[in-house]
Amino acid sequence: MPVVSDTKQQVENQPRPTSSRSTLNTVATIALFGMVLAYFVNFLLAYVFGGTFVAALLIIGGIMLVGACISLLRVHWIGAVGALLALGAMSTQMSVGINQYFITHPADAPSFITLLLILSFGLVAVVAGIASTIRNYRNSGQPAPRNLRLLMNLTIVVQ
């Protein structure tokens, strides 16, 4: 006849999942998918209403889509990759002169709103990605990579 203490030992000996998705990882992934959606909406607005095929928006949106799908992996450092991708996309977006005009002149509402969405989703992805990477390494007992501090400093300088 089984004893309760035997069941307790069996439960304790079962393997636990090594890596699970934290809330910060989920927030970073959702923010990356939000950036992808905003890039494709921005492309469609330029193509449908402006009659201009902006290949750069489509390429960056595709790269962000691949990065957002990769961020679904359950790896400790994947939040930092998503943060780096979002930081690069925001920097690229703001380096274009017309986007600097749109962010300072909100009279052109569709361009202003999509740019504001890209920047806000990007900021959330960067902060949540760095925070999730730090959390993942603190909980696992492994030392955090040294490049993480460089990524945090680069984020502060760029923004």
Dump pLDDT digits (tens) for 12-38: 555 554 456 778 888 999 999 999 999
How far, in Å, CA of 44 to CA of 132, rounded? 32
Q: Could you read off the pLDDT of 118-137 as tens digits, one per residue?
A: 999 999 999 998 888 888 77
pLDDT band at 97 (very low <50, low <70, confident <90, very high): confident
pTM reported for the whole predicted model: 0.74
Task: Work out the percent of the chain whose per-residue pLDDT is above 70.
Answer: 74
| Range in 1-5, 67-71, 146-150, 152-156 the model is least confident about | 1-5
| Range in 34-38, 84-88, 147-151 the model is least confident about | 147-151
How high does pLDDT run on average in the chain? 81
CA distances from 10 to 1, 3, 4, 121, 156 (A): 15, 11, 10, 45, 49
